[in-house]
Structure 1
Amino acid sequence: MSAQTAASPFRYGVFLRPDPRTCALLTDLHLLLRQSYGLVSCAAYPPHATLAGNVPTDAPEDELADRIGAALSDTSAFTAYNTGIEKGGGGIGFNLHDLPDGSPNPGITNLLDVVRQAMAPVAKPMDHYRANPLDPGCFRAHLSIASHELLLRPELRPEILDFVRGLAWDPPHSFTADTVSLFRFRSPDWHARWWRHMTWDHIRSWRLWPTAAVNLDAA
């Protein structure tokens, strides 16, 4: 049964979950930026790398889960690399898109493409994104450090960047990318500063094994 209504406040995201140490570091970092600068958009989400973000759709949740599960069934786990802090799309994040030599990581680009193809047929336009994960070639996988507020206050970006670099935190340089999750998001107004009032629910996760994905709810 879908959680949606005719005028749905719900949107859906498909996220790659980093390793536990990276999740803990991101959580601490987001809370520190909230306490130091009042930035709340990143802290409003679970730690993640976006594969498809805040997708508006009329498709029932069961269909979304079936689409994602089928698409991931032939998708293998891979090594993801955190190659450091970069600026992109107006925000600040850890680069998860590339290999250490600077070339795109085929594991992450394949996963982005697999999820894009699964979600694109049922997705409505996402007019509030600068870089849409469903548009191939326009999105770089990343772990957000500071995001939407910096689009509204770009003059704050250099200070935030210096602050984060000054922490000298050393996240894992690589991890096994093997957990993909579907989330439901709710906001009373997706065209306002929705991150201040957004809530979310975890719907389902899949584990990418060397040869196939497994529904963790059924494992």
Structure 2
Amino acid sequence: MASAQLLLLVPLLLVTSCVVMASDPSPLQDFCVAYANSTVKVNGVVCKDPKLATADDFFFSGLNKAGNTSGPVGSRVTAVNVVQIPGLNTLGISLARVDYAPWGINPPHTHPRATEILTVLEGTLLVGFVTSNTDNRLFTKVLYKGDVFVFPVGLIHFQQNIGYGPAVALAALSSQNPGVITIANAVFGSNPDIPANILAKAFQVEEATITKIQSKF
């Protein structure tokens, strides 16, 4: 009986350990204001002397201002992470304002280090995410003002303004530095380019089609 219980306990401990490590590490002090000028490289940002911290290290102003959505995809993300607020260092959270022109999109992308929870402030959004390769299932929902939707960590997701006026959303993320990988930019705009013959085989199209798409990035 004891050995059977042990066999059940070991996998449970392994799963629990993975869950605990799935987000930014917990801080071991009241705060760790990021010292951006440090030449020391760590997984995160070095703390500056807490005696030198000021209220401005925990402050950001500007989310009341609409982003410029005149670009090709019709959206603009205003990030508020550890770069904008040094006091977010080690706290494991960040924000972003997303503005959308009519029919603009926040194109398919992932956050490799964060789950995102999105709240619609104005307008109507079509949102969705795709599960991993086991079934590539698409979850979509139309959101209205005040609605909330969650995008699980690492999964490809998107938003589209399906209204005739501007839309605004506020995203909260479970990392001080969630990162973003925009799928089209990464695949077709890498530096240097991914060889066109590889992408042609992956997407099952002619190389000329790939080369034309790459030229746009």
Question: What TM-score comes out, normalization by structure 1 length?
Answer: 0.25
> Which protein has greater RCO, CA pairs closer than 8 Å, 6+ apart?
1
Rg larger in structure: 2
More helix per residue: 1
Question: What TM-score comes out, normalization by structure 2 length?
Answer: 0.25
